[in-house]
Structure 1
Amino acid sequence: MVNSTERHQFILNKVQKEGFIQVVDLCKELKVSSVTIRKDLKLLEDKNLLFRTHGGASVNNPYTVDKPVNEKEKLQAGEKTRIGAAAAQFIQPDDSVIIASGTTVLALAKAIKPTQRLSVVTSALNVAMELLQHEHVEVIQLGGIIRKTSSSITGTYAQNMLADFSCSKLFLGVDGIDLEFGLTTTSVVEAHLNRQMIKASQKVIVLSDSTKFGRRGFGRICGLEEANQIITDKGIPNHYVNQLEGMGIEVTIV
């Protein structure tokens, strides 16, 4: 039986290698109880060596904070560009879609090159401005209160407008994807609007770079079962791919 020092080193090596570890797996590998593992994780978190999460631990802080949109654009810019280009391939001629807010869905807007009619409902001012340059795109801008950090519209006016639309797809940006807590954003009011977008769409396509996995924003949008597809980059942890596909969610890696 390994001693506590050896256990701690094993846990740290594993979380550094995999990014996320689960209590049940550590119990099996180290042949100790879940109580012991949870005590180990608390001690290591107290030393600022990892972050505890529901059912495990992560090398990254699972709680995301709000940042201005111009700051977010600079983060994982290459990954977002590739994700946006891949998402654009799912837009069909004469399609009617909803594009939510965020820098990854802005990358989608920049990648859209329509040659036939396309109708886009959006809450994001920067998405609307990007699409105005295309003569074949009809842009329906939701109205309401402008959330400055995301350059997007929120509030009951926007939610009520969505009741008048039925779209084939929703392209949704998120701040966090957690296996237990689901899809999240840093704003509760934006989460409420996103839920109305889901109701107005036949298919939900989540656009997220891999740094969002294992993280949680303040506002819960919905459970993972509401998502039909997730487009992300190759940095996504393997255990997330396995569990998401096991739930019937299509995972597209670019």
Structure 2
Amino acid sequence: MNNVERHQYILKKASEGGHISVSNLCEELTVSSVTIRKDLQFLEDSGLLFRTHGGATLQNPYQTDRPVFEKEKIHSIEKSKIGKRAAQLIEENDSIIIASGTTMQYLAKEIVPKGNLTVVTSALNVSQELIKHPNVEIIQLGGSIRHSSNSVMGQFAEDTLTNFFCSKLFLGVDGIDEEFGITTTNAQEAQLNRKMIHAAQKVIVLADSSKFGRKSFGKIVEFGKIDILISDSIPKKYIELFDSLGIQTIIC
């Protein structure tokens, strides 16, 4: 194949599989890894794909920050199903932490408290959803308001969390990468999420399928800290990875 034919082949494989690896392309096209990497560089410079570690993808793997009012309209059906399934894990007289994010708001909408429920949260929209329940005690963390996520963050919120220990943390993320772990678009929020993990017995990640294969600026934690992951769909390689780490996966 000449250059143009290789480029067309690479784009075709990427559109079929979502992600292509350098090693597979070398084998299929009988060329060196140097040639394939130059091809991928050319295609990325042309705006036709995005290079990743060991390969490339047509989907931008880097998540950027967007306003919560914009994100809540994206994948809303999937987020609603995830929130409904996650709400079933809340037990009678439970004490839980709910982090920020649009999927957390969908979770809050689905909560029907059994007995008395205590909720510690950084998210203002979560508090607004739960305030209608008289048997839900809401502990709203304080701190600096992050407008894009409609939540608080900072040292004051982190220090407050040291006074609590809850049975479960429900955590939303912006990216899930097999090498980088789970991430969010803001470093301060990532730090607060880590404090939440320390304050919870069980960590439950809620993420729609668009989050897989992506990474954001602020790393929250490695996969080993996660107990359960709930999604509408999980790529096979991630299911195998989570199984090897003892992470329970729930597909809804």
TM-score range, shorter chain: over 0.9
Give 1:178's aligned residue. 177
TM alignment of 1:99-248, pairs within 5 A: 99-234=98-233, 236-248=234-246
> Amino acid of the residue matched to residue 76 of structure 2?
A
Partner deviation per Cα, 1:70-113 (whole Å, 9 max, x = no partner): 11111111010001001111111121111000000110010101
**SS of 1:143 mapped into structure 2:** coil
Cα distance in structure 1, aligned partners of 2:214 and 2:88: 27
**SS of 2:171 mapped into structure 1:** strand
Q: Normalising to structure 2: TM-score of the pair?
A: 0.93
Cα distance in structure 2, aligned partners of 1:85 and 1:30: 46
> Amino acid of the residue matched to residue 153 of structure 1?
V
Q: Does structure 1 conserve the Cα–Cα contact (< 8 Å) formed by 2:93 and 2:114?
A: no
Cα deviation, residue 138, structure 1: 1.2
Report the CA distance shift for 1:88/1:219 in structure 2 as closer, same or farther (over 3 A): same
Give 1:86's aligned residue. 85
How many residues in Structure 1 have an aligned counterpart in Structure 2?
Answer: 252
Cα deviation, residue 224, structure 1: 2.0
Report the CA distance shift for 1:98/1:24 in structure 2 as closer, same or farther (over 3 A): farther
Partner deviation per Cα, 1:15-51 (whole Å, 9 max, x = no partner): 2122222333334444444333322211221221110
Cα deviation, residue 4, structure 1: 4.3
**SS of 1:93 mapped into structure 2:** coil
Report the CA distance shift for 1:119/1:73 in structure 2 as closer, same or farther (over 3 A): same
Give 1:35's aligned residue. 34
1:250 partnered with 2:248 = yes
Cα distance in structure 1, aligned partners of 2:229 and 2:28: 31
Q: Which runs of 5+ in 2 are unaligned?
A: none
Report the CA distance shift for 1:56/1:155 in structure 2 as closer, same or farther (over 3 A): same
**SS of 1:183 mapped into structure 2:** strand
Comparing 28-37 with 97-106, greater Cα deviation is found at: 28-37
Report the CA distance shift for 1:192/1:28 in structure 2 as closer, same or farther (over 3 A): same
1:68 partnered with 2:62 = no
Q: Normalising to structure 1: TM-score of the pair?
A: 0.92
Percent identity over paired residues: 58
